[in-house]
Homo-oligomer: A and B are copies of this chain.
Amino acid sequence: MAQESKNIQFELTEDLITQVEELIAKKNDRKLRKLLNGFHYADIAEILDEVNLDDAMYVIKLLDSETTSDVLMELNEDNREKVLQNLSSKEIAEEIEELDTDDAADIIAELSEERQREVIHHIEDEEHKAEIKELLRYDEDTAGGLMAKELVKVYETWTVAGCLRRIRGQAKDVTRVHSIYVVNKQNKLIGRLSLKDLIVAKSDEKIADIYIKSVDYVNVDEDPEEVAKVMAKYDLEAIPVVDDNMILLGRITIDDIVDVLREEADKDYQLAAGITADVEADDSIWELTRARLPWLLIGMFGGIGAASIISGFSEALRIYPALLMFVPLIQATAGNVGVQSSAIVVQGLANDTIDGNILSRLLKEALLGLVNGLAIAAIVLLISHFAFHTTYNESITICVALIAVIIMAALIGTFIPIFLDKRGIDAAVATGPFITTSNDVFGILMYFLIAKMILGF
């Protein structure tokens, strides 16, 4: 029997894709169904993401809607859009019937408004229809947009035995029972029970006597990132969602939160690299250009700014040409230090490990900059003197400028994210080209101003 257990290691091989394509070409439905039903729906979605649209449609129509509805949810967003375009409103409605309300609402939200009405019209289960319509009203960037209506709810007046009997009915619609939510007659959330508590309790006890009165919850308008942070902090696997009057509206489960965390991490990573969020390697050149070009333009204007500064000092630089050789060093160091400092602050802000005292943080960064600056300047002093034969004053200029620029870059890199965060702007934006570019320009300017002081031009 152990052979039926599946190791998690599904591997998407070229061979497997070819095999699927051949079975489709031969219209060998029996073998194809047998092959695919052996896989998890997330694996089937990976296969369909690799074949062409016609083949994907063939598979979707072949398998039963219990499987295909889950496959649809796991498809790459672009592919799902194409598949949905090739399904009739009635066919989409059939898939929707099989999905939990949160997934159902997510799929419908991807359709055009007219299509949405048609699909909803075709949903036969009236309760499912009403719940989906309710979920569609919430902004997708709120707890309401993330929650599902499926949950197990009991009234405080029930007994344990009655409760067990009734939740058997409710639980059928709920894939996983995390917690049983206890409400009063007005449907207000007043506590929770775990299935374990219920099993351990005596059957004639009243729910009112055994439920746990302390229950965490979120408001329906809460930010999903905030919900994710809290569920991670408190190790919650599900959290109930209530409105301003404490009326129980739905629940959010940890698997949705895992997705929020991954998307958030991806977004921050892309912002830090200077990419407007939400592009993938497989997107079109036009989409990628739109995501990348604006940030390159910021860098470009920085470069033009640097050119103006150099142009402004051109007279002096004719006398001290060695100074220009070290512009790339100054620029690279300023950029690197700025990115390091801002990354640490952005992460600290995200994890709430940064306290309010800006001044002490700036002081620490300045000190850190001094230590790093001294180390780098010492090496550069030796190299510039022996390898580039710079004069004594030129060497001193380069080293003093390096230290000053490193401290400046560390301060800018620390200050800007904290400043943005206080203004309610996502600090992750700062780590990208903004900091690098401003440090480039200020770094070069500072370099020449220090040269002017020391060399006296």
Contacts and interface: CB of A to CB of B under 8 A. Distances in A.
Interface of A: 1-2, 4-8, 12, 14, 40, 42, 50, 76, 164, 167-168, 171, 174, 176-178, 184, 188-191, 194-196, 199-200, 213-219, 222, 226-227, 230-235, 237, 239, 246, 254-255, 257-259, 261-262, 265-266, 268-270, 272-275, 279-282, 285, 288-289, 292-293, 295-297, 299-300, 302-304, 306-308, 310-311, 314, 318, 321, 324-333, 335-337, 339-340, 342-348, 351-356, 361, 364, 367-368, 371-372, 375-376, 379-380, 383-384, 387-388, 406, 431, 433, 436-437, 440, 444
Contacts of A265: 261-262, 265, 268-269
A235 B213 contact: no
Contacts of A371: 285, 289
A177 to B, nearest CB: 6
27 contacts: A1-B190, A4-B191, A5-B213, A7-B219, A42-B235, A167-B199, A171-B200, A176-B178, A232-B255, A232-B258, A235-B255, A265-B268, A270-B347, A281-B344, A285-B367, A285-B368, A293-B376, A296-B372, A302-B328, A302-B332, A303-B326, A307-B326, A308-B387, A311-B325, A324-B324, A332-B335, A332-B440
A8 B234 contact: yes
Given A311-B325, A327-B327, A232 B5 contact: no
A100 to B, nearest CB: 11
A299 B368 contact: no
Contacts of A308: 387
Contacts of A330: 303
Among A270, A310, A361, chain B packs the most CB atoms within 10 A around the CB of: A310
Given A274-B336, A293-B372, 15 more contacts: A1-B213, A5-B215, A5-B217, A8-B217, A237-B237, A237-B254, A254-B258, A270-B343, A272-B272, A280-B348, A296-B376, A300-B333, A307-B388, A311-B325, A314-B321
A163 B279 CA distance: 50
Contacts of A262: 232, 261, 265
A306 B307 CA distance: 17
Contacts of A218: 7-8
Contacts of A379: 297, 300
Given A280-B344, A299-B332, A431 B285 contact: no
Nearest to A211: B1
Nearest to A321: B314
Contact of A214 (B4, B292, B297, B303): B4
Given A237-B255, A258-B258, A214 B300 contact: no
A300 B381 CA distance: 12
A190 B5 contact: yes
B332 A437 contact: yes
Interface of A, helix, strand, loop or mixed by DSSP? helix
A255 B388 CA distance: 56
A184 B219 CA distance: 46
A368 to B, nearest CB: 5
A239 B40 CA distance: 15
A181 B13 CA distance: 31
Given A213-B4, A217-B8, A300 B329 contact: yes
Contact of A328 (B258, B288, B444): B444
B303 A6 contact: no
Contacts of A230: 8
A273 B339 contact: yes
Contacts of A303: 326, 328-333
Contacts of A333: 296, 299-300, 303
Shortest beta-carbon contacts, A-B, top 8: A303-B329, A273-B343, A265-B265, A306-B328, A281-B348, A307-B325, A8-B230, A235-B255
A353 B300 contact: no
B340 A304 contact: no
A281 B380 contact: no
